[in-house]
Amino acid sequence: MAAEGTGICAGRVVAVTGAGRGLGRAHALAFAAEGARVVVNDLGVGLDGTPAADSPAERVAEEIRGAGGEAVAHAGDIATSEGAASLVATALDAFGRLDTLVNNAGFLRDRMLVNLDEDDWDAVVRVHLKGHFLPLRYAAGHWRAETKAGRPPRARVVNTSSGAGLLGSVGQANYAAAKAGILALTLVAAAELARYGVQVNALAPAARTRMTERTFAATMAAPRDDGFDAMAPENVSPLVVWLGSPACEGVTGRVFEAEAGRITVMEGWRPGPTAEKPARRNPAEAGEAARALLASATAPLPVHGTAPDPP
């Protein structure tokens, strides 16, 4: 498959979680097309996280091998220590190394906040947030050991957040909270792992997948007359491949949005207007200062799913 691309990832070993369908599958195929050997992880569950009968990871691995690439399937649960550790072990056993980790696995259990029960909260936070932490933890442990052995890697991690994590999303409190947590995890990991040659970035993609087709069905653009499908998952993968390659040297701790042909660097929390007083305020004074600051602050972007104000 490398001959079809630029070879930007030639020789690298890449593990992609949730790679049986949608964005993960597109990423796995794109890495393989650029010369990478790929570990295709997918637990094979349904949209809500319940077990399914098929093995999408093996299908994608077979697709890569059928096109001349190298790939192995991994069906472990990466939100468990055993599954995350075995993901790294699979890469080492099959290909002798691990260079890039793409954390992508996830599912939805959407409810309005007053109807969201504890099980739905725990399940979504587990697979998205814990399912990012554990593979990152075990991959980082391997890369630290490599550094201490005198073999410093040029390792890359690409985490998957969402516009819901950046702005919030009505009916998705569990998902939005997990995706926001992934952004903070990305910042911490980038700072802590730089000494081991690891770069960590995050992506907030917008594309047509099993997770989004029902939620955003009314707003997703149809393919244009020229055949370009703006919401195809494959549009997001080139940025992921670049972030997973040596070519992105020096880029770490950043968050990108990607949709169709658009790439945006997101700029997170920064100090805005500030009021100083060399003494403690009473509540009324604190409120007066806050009101004045809000009047000069930039208004936040709307939460996804909120209706615009009436004219």
User: 4 or 178: whose pLDDT is higher?
Assistant: 178
- Lowest mean pLDDT: which of 1-10, 164-173, 218-227? 218-227
Taking all residues of the chain, what is their mean pLDDT, rounded to a whole number? Answer: 90
| pLDDT at position 154 over 90 | yes
Would you give the DSSP letter of residue 19? T
The question of whether 130 is a catalytic residue gets the answer: no
CATH superfamily of 2-266: NAD(P)-binding Rossmann-like Domain (3.40.50.720)
Q: Is this structure's pTM higher than 0.85? A: yes
- Lowest mean pLDDT: which of 175-189, 196-210, 218-232? 218-232
Three-class secondary structure of residue 88 per DSSP: helix
Q: How confident is the model at residue 224 (pLDDT cuts 50, 70, 90)?
A: low
Structure tokens at 209: 């997948």
Would you give the DSSP letter of residue 53? S
Question: Which of 130, 138, 161, 162 is the catalytic position?
Answer: 162
Q: What is the pLDDT of residues 208-217, one digit of tens each?
A: 755 555 554 4
Alpha-carbon torsion (184, 188, 193, 195), positive or negative: positive
The confidence score (pLDDT) of residue 3 equals 38
Question: Which of 86, 138, 179, 196 is the catalytic position?
Answer: 179
| pLDDT at position 12 over 70 | yes
Q: What is the pLDDT of residues 114-139, one digit of tens each?
A: 999 999 999 999 999 999 999 999 99
Strand-pairing partners, residue 156, are 100, 199
Q: How confident is the model at residue 177 (pLDDT cuts 50, 70, 90)?
A: very high
Domain range list for the chain: 2-266
The question of whether 148 is a catalytic residue gets the answer: no
Q: How confident is the model at residue 311 (pLDDT cuts 50, 70, 90)?
A: very low
Alpha-carbon distance of 80 to 162, in angstroms, equals: 23
Question: Which of 138, 175, 237, 245 is the catalytic position?
Answer: 175
**CB within 8 Å of 199: residues ≥ 6 apart:** 155, 156, 157, 190, 243, 248, 249, 250, 251, 252
The question of whether 196 is a catalytic residue gets the answer: no
